[in-house]
Structure 1
Amino acid sequence: MPIYKREIARTSISTKSQTSDCDADKAPHSNDRAPGISHESVLYGKRQRSKVPKILRFIFSWLRSKFTSRTKKTKVLPFNADSSGNLVVTESKQTRVQMLIHSWGSKYAKNEKKFRRKYSTFEIIGNGTFSTVRKALCKNTQTKVVIKYIKRSLLPNYCALYDSKYDAHLPSEISILARLEHPNIVELQEFSKTDNHFILVMPLHGRHTMDLRQFISRLRAIDEPFCCYVFRQIVNGVDYLHENSILHGDIKADNVIINEEFQCKLIDFGSASYFTDDMIIDNFAGSVSYCAPEVLVNHGRFQGTEVEMYALGVVLYLLNFQDYPLDQSSEFFHQDENLQVASEDLRLLLISLLHHDSSTRCKMIDLLHNEWLNQRVAIEQYDWNKMVWEC
């Protein structure tokens, strides 16, 4: 036998003999061992890992899963992007929405501590099904903003999708707003993600801002030209969405904000989604007061943009008469008492928008060319303080 092999053999034999001699008395009796624990595992310290604090083992396990199995988690999520890079949501709704961030980019707050250093939050100004909205102040620029917190644990799957731009699964509200730029749609400045929330930062819309429903309830007086000016901005925003194959999903007076200069913006895109002309949507998330008849008949299923045209009709009715249409299912809707005092052009427009047959309901192209909607309005003659009651 070669010399080096003999040395290795001699060393291993002596080691084993020393171990057996030294530890013979230390080894526990077989009756003292816990069930399922072998003598060798006790002797050679395989249970020593139990001395590591549980919190450290949890942290190590979490770090290992986060950095070693990220790709596997991404593959099983029920969201995809098509060959053109467009955002799509699959039919599966079984898995809770997850978010795996590869890179936010330098403009986004990367963690909660950094976010808190950048913003000071104040009072709550709104609550939703799975979100809370607060006023805040950006410490860097001393500008007022609005921050929306979306609770991750409450976010349903149909309100999220895979975003190829950020290579992550995001709430549809974030993914859609990040691509929109229109004067009548709220702007998304930046967004972030913490352990419990998705966070959206949006600019504050004027000094005296309220939603359209609050504005209507505080009006001293109103006329048709002013209603036309406000409604035309809402229509322009919805038309921009439809041109980009987006449904807002919850058009109502509460989701329109107006400031002291009577500038309007659409907000709350939590129910927004992409659509195609032949797509059937089965998760209507709007309000019943603004719900088209075909949605109720089909148990929440609808197709196309006709449901949003109906919702626009309800907004226009509410704006002009400070009330909702009382009998929306009646065949004699054209005999409504409020419509009897409206101008002929407004009356015909409302009847067209609130038509119960979706195939004959007013289309967006017809609405944009409507004579009443395109009337000239001298908005400078209206004063906020004279029109709105102060709280």
Structure 2
Amino acid sequence: MSGTEPTRHPGRPWALPSTIAREFDPGGAGRRGRRTVRDWFADFSCFAAAVLLGMAGADAISANPHVSEDLADLDQVVGALACAAVWLRRRWPLGLAVAMVPVALVSDTGGGAAAVALFTLAVHRPFRYVAWVGAASIAMIPFAYWMRPDAEMPYGVSLAFGVLISLTVIGWGMFVRSRRELLLSLHDRALRAENEASLRAEQAQRLAREAIAREMHDVLAHRLTLLSVHAGALEFRPDAPRPEIVRAAGVIRESAHEALQDLRQVIGVLRGGDTDAPGRPQPTLAALDALVAECREAGMKVVLDSRVTDPDAVPAALGRTAYRIAQEALTNARKHAPGAEVTVTVTGAPGEGLTMTVRNPAPPGDVPKVPGSGQGLIGLAERASLAGGRLGHRALPGGGFHLEAWLPWAS
């Protein structure tokens, strides 16, 4: 994952760095890439092996009484050309291996180059090509020893030795190929694991950001709506009685203070990077009475009908979700239906689930324009879904609104 550009192999869905792909290129996709120091070393080693084996073959053919001097010279010339052709093994492994089949038939000096070509074919090409070319090479061995019998070994022994050498070269090449495939597979698994870990980290960060954003919306929207409503009342009614102005100013001051405290808590979590860091206590269902009282102090008409026997016994996560739903619903009612009486009903028991309904009729007068993002209900539905529940809402005839949520409550 440094800066190397990924290379795609034919028939393989993985992306591999080009430096790794050059080591094993079954489709020839990397044939135009520059050779590395390792490639030059491998090519020179193969050329040296072909020359050394060719020299041994040249000595044997020169000392063979069954071969004339002219044929021995021709054998060495063909072998020298075959050794030079070894440098083409990376570019045309199949063509070189096919060309070496007749060369090995007529030249003992070219036997080393033929073995290198067969080995390269086994490394860089699938088994079907290796099988055909290898079978042709082995089939030529009896004719080669019949045309040029060995001076020291019997025909049968020479034949068995030649076949054994060919099979060893093919097996060695296939072993190298399978080892490289294994290394590439392990490298691909490492890349996949690294990518998956990166994606999981990004997803965790995104979920954390969404949770913080949802919490900021739920907490701050309630406070800032109070500020907006009472500031708007002061703006449009500057001649209001002094007690009302004092009460509105007190609500504004208290809401601003609470909003500042909540904002400090969220910022502290963001700076510390620990969502479990201690801060202000999280609300539960038992805090619903305080929320309703706060709304009443702000001038709302709220009726709370809680039929839960023991709110303190409600699980913390369930109670917090229910509290946030009620808080957002009351905030929306305050913004869009000022002056209307809002009824909050909470029912439920362990094993049955917790049901909350928030209902309000149409507002009695004109509704002032209060800015909003429209994402509150979407966030509530997502919050309920994450808790394993569901949330629905609908407009009532005449301009009212009805919201209902159900949350699971384990027994």
- Coarse TM-score class (shorter-chain normalised): under 0.3
Larger radius of gyration: 2
When you count helix as a share of all residues, which structure comes out higher?
A: 2
When you count strand as a share of all residues, which structure comes out higher?
A: 1
**TM-score scaled by length of structure 2:** 0.20
Which structure has the higher relative contact order (CA within 8 Å, separation 6+)?
1
**TM-score scaled by length of structure 1:** 0.21
